[in-house]
Amino acid sequence: MLKTITKEIALIEACYLAFALVKNLTDPSPIFKAVANGWGVLRLESALAINFAAFIQQVIRRISHSAVIITTYFYAAGMWIGLIATAIFVFIKKRKAYVALRRTFVISMILGAIVFALFPLAPPRFMPGLGMTDTVTLLDLDPSPSSDSTISNNRFAAMPSLHAAWALLVLIAMFKVGGTWLKVGGVI
């Protein structure tokens, strides 16, 4: 069992390292292209009436400063906590479902890295004139400005949103192997 767990951790670490290297070895300074692409996506979202990011941030800011802090930490760390906890739970509970979860995770990294390389995209928090506050940087949770590591966060890899994709992966895993409370947790 320990050998299997060690092998799984090494496999996931190797895949993620390869993913981080590939997504960050593209254009080292795609700022102008990423912002231009960002405005294009915002125009499309506006045309489809799905441009909610600034509105959602304003609603959270009106709730309280604590709500801003909590949602920012959840954005920065919640995905990883949920993904790792889900992987461990599914590994223990149902190995076949774990293999499907791992495979989907790795495929999403491969597809994501390809899109990140071909279509650098500034997230809304980096879009000048949009009126969004970069709460991640304000709370010092953005490793990129102070890191010159090749495997650090790619600030212009906003789409596809692996935060959303991996949250969906957690939800699907909880529905496959969890009871009622885990399904509710997966939805949250």
Report pLDDT for 150: 47
- For residues 150-162, give the mean pLDDT: 68
- pTM reported for the whole predicted model: 0.74
Decide if 94 contacts 178 (C-beta within 8 A): no
118 domain-assigned: yes
Count up the domains in the chain and report the number.
1
7 domain-assigned: no
17 domain-assigned: no
* pLDDT score of 149 more than 60: no
Give the integer Cα–Cα distance in Å for 38 and 108. 21
171 domain-assigned: yes
10 domain-assigned: no
Decide if 98 contacts 91 (C-beta within 8 A): yes
pLDDT digits (tens, 9 = 90+) for 79-110: 888 889 889 999 999 989 999 999 999 899 88
92 domain-assigned: yes
Decide if 121 contacts 37 (C-beta within 8 A): yes
Provide the residue range defining the domain that includes 179: 31-145+155-187
22 domain-assigned: no
105 domain-assigned: yes
- For residues 45-61, give the mean pLDDT: 85
